[in-house]
Structure 1
Amino acid sequence: MKALVINCTLKTSPEPSNTEALAGVVVGQLEKDGVQVDVVRAVDLDIAPGVTSEPVREGDQWPAVHERLLDSEILVIASPTWLGRPSSVAQRVLERMDAMLSETDDDNRPVAYNRVAGVVVTGNEDGAHHVISEISGALGDIGYTVPGQAWTYWHLGPGPGPDYLDEEKGRDWSHSTARAMAANLHGVARALTDRPLSAPPG
């Protein structure tokens, strides 16, 4: 079984990413359960704005990400909180994924069917549940199954403050929730492998 984590931080590599660090707890649990995990930092790629899976222009790197999505049973979208909302990078990723609504597999099922998804959020301001809701709702629209409690987050409340990598407070809860998230994603992904959803009625 394969998983893809798309880190939607605004920080380019090799700058440390708080969001990727928390997502790493989910990755560790998935790998412990035998899942092969691939991590993509979307801001490092040239992803053009658009709503297609095909290249929007020369050099557009989204098609390669799309192929990795189709090669994975589990998807994790990881985003920082900015102004109480998902990052602009996360929004761009979801806009490109919108094309999957009209793509079907060989059994005429939407290509996101029988795949599961969850969300990781970091930030030193409130709004994590709003970000989780926005991203989870979009993934459900696209066709992913979003299990219960398939999320984790870390923040220290409203206003400025230390980052996840600089502060131990709150990490234990975020980490235990991340491990539960990974277990729920893996469990539901296995269930859908054993008993896949059929194509929706016409």
Structure 2
Amino acid sequence: MRAVFVNCTLKASPEASNTAQLAEIVASALREQGVEITEFRLADLRLDHGVETRMSSEDEWPRVHDAIVDAQILVVATPTWVGRPSSYAQQLLERLDAMIAETGADGEPIAYGKVAGVVVTGNEDGAHHVISGISGALVDIGFTIPGQSWTYWNRGPGPGPEYHETNEGHEWSAQTGRTMATHLAHVAHALGAD
């Protein structure tokens, strides 16, 4: 079984990403269940804007797309900015939109039979809004969203320390992330059963 993690942080590598740190808890829990993980940080890629899978010769989206098509699990990880997902998360959803028209040998959209979850970080509130918005979009595209297939960490309203600067709330976020991983793997197995 394979999972693709798409980190929508605004920070390019090698800058530390709070979102990557929380997503790694989910990835580690999936690895313990035998799931192979592929990770992309969109800030490191050259991505065209639009709603098609293949756009220009410089566009690196097809590599991400093909990994998602080959996987059974997708995890979208994003920071929260002014109560919303990052601009890269929006771009991800726009590019995934093309998958609605792409069908497999069975004639069904290629996202059908795949599960997805969401990881959110930020030192401001809005995590549930971000989770519901991304989850709703992924359902439209054809992904199955298991119950409690998300985790988040935020500092609450107003400025404050980032995820890597404090241990506050980490235990809850980590436990929720491990539960998320279990739900994603179990539902992916169920959907893949013959």
TM-score normalised by the chain length of structure 2: 0.99
* Matched position secondary structure for 2:123: coil
What's 1:99 paired with? 98
After TM superposition, give the deviation of residue 121 of structure 1 in Å: 0.1
What are the equivalent positions in structure 2 for 1:124-135 lying under 5 Å apart? Answer: 124-135=123-134
**DSSP-derived class of the 2:31 partner:** helix
Deviations 1:19-72 (Å, cap 9, x if unpaired)?
Answer: 000000000000000000011101100011000011x22301111111001010
- SS in structure 2 at match of 1:152: strand
Q: What is the SS of the residue equivalent to 2:120?
A: strand
Cα shift at 1:152: 0.1
The answer for the alignment partner of 1:188 in structure 2 is 187
Once residues 71 and 43 of structure 1 are traced to their aligned partners in structure 2, the CA distance between those partners, rounded to angstroms, is 22
Measured in 2, the distance between the counterparts of 1:158 and 1:57 equals 41
Aligned residues: 194
Deviation at 1:129, TM superposition (A): 0.2
Identity score, percent: 56
C-alpha separation in 1, matches of 2:119 and 2:46: 23
Return structure 1 stretches of 4+ with deviation > 2 angstroms: none
Aligned counterpart, 1:15 = 15
Matched, 1:159 2:150: no
SS of alignment partner, residue 58 of structure 2? coil
Partner of 1:192, secondary structure, is helix
CA distance in 1: counterparts of 2:169 and 2:63, whole angstroms: 36
Structure 2 counterparts to residues 49-128 of structure 1, below 5 A = 49-54=49-54, 56-128=55-127
Distance across 1 between alignment mates of 2:12 and 2:43: 6
TM-score calculated relative to the size of structure 1: 0.95
User: Residues of 1 paired with 2:82 and 2:11: CA distance?
Assistant: 16
Q: Which residue of 2 aligns with 1:200?
A: none
Q: Which runs of 5+ in 2 are unaligned?
A: none
Instruction: Give ranges in structure 1 of 5+ residues lacking alignment.
Output: 196-202
Other-structure match for 1:34 = 34
In 2, the alpha carbon distance for the partners of 1:64 and 1:28 equals 23
Deviation at 1:95, TM superposition (A): 0.2
Map 1:134-153 → 2, pairs under 5 A: 134-153=133-152
1:62-100 deviation digits (Å, cap 9, x = unpaired): 111110010100000000000100000000011000000
